[in-house]
C-alpha cells in the first residue's frame, strides 16, 4: 500500500512538471533589442547615454579629494 502511494505521488509530480514545459523555455528575442535608449538610432550607432568621453587623467581637484579620503581612511596605518 505504501509503495503504491509513493508511486502515484511520483507520477503526479512528473505529470505536473511535464505540464509546465512550455513555460520553461527561454525567450527567443532579447528584452531590449528595440530600445533606442540602449542601442541608439540603429544597432550599429553609439548609445545615447554615452555622449561624453571619460577624461584621460583626473583633475587636480579629484586628486586632492582622493588623497584627503585616503588620509582619513588610512590615518591609523
CA distance 36 to 11: 48
Q: What is the pLDDT of residues 58-77, one digit of tens each?
A: 788 989 999 999 999 998 76
Q: What is the pLDDT of residues 2-40, one digit of tens each?
A: 888 999 988 888 777 766 666 666 666 667 777 777 766
CA distance 62 to 67: 9
Q: What is the pTM of this model?
A: 0.28
Boundaries of every domain in the chain: 32-77
Contact present, 46 and 36 (Cβ < 8 Å): no
Amino acid at each position: 500500500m505504501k509503495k503504491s502511494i509513493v508511486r502515484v505521488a511520483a507520477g503526479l509530480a512528473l505529470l505536473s512538471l511535464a505540464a509546465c514545459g512550455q513555460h520553461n523555455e527561454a525567450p527567443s528575442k532579447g528584452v531590449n533589442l528595440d530600445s533606442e535608449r540602449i542601442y541608439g538610432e540603429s544597432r550599429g550607432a553609439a548609445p545615447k547615454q554615452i555622449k561624453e568621453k571619460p577624461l584621460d587623467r583626473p583633475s587636480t581637484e579629484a586628486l586632492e579629494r582622493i588623497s584627503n579620503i585616503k588620509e582619513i581612511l588610512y590615518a591609523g596605518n
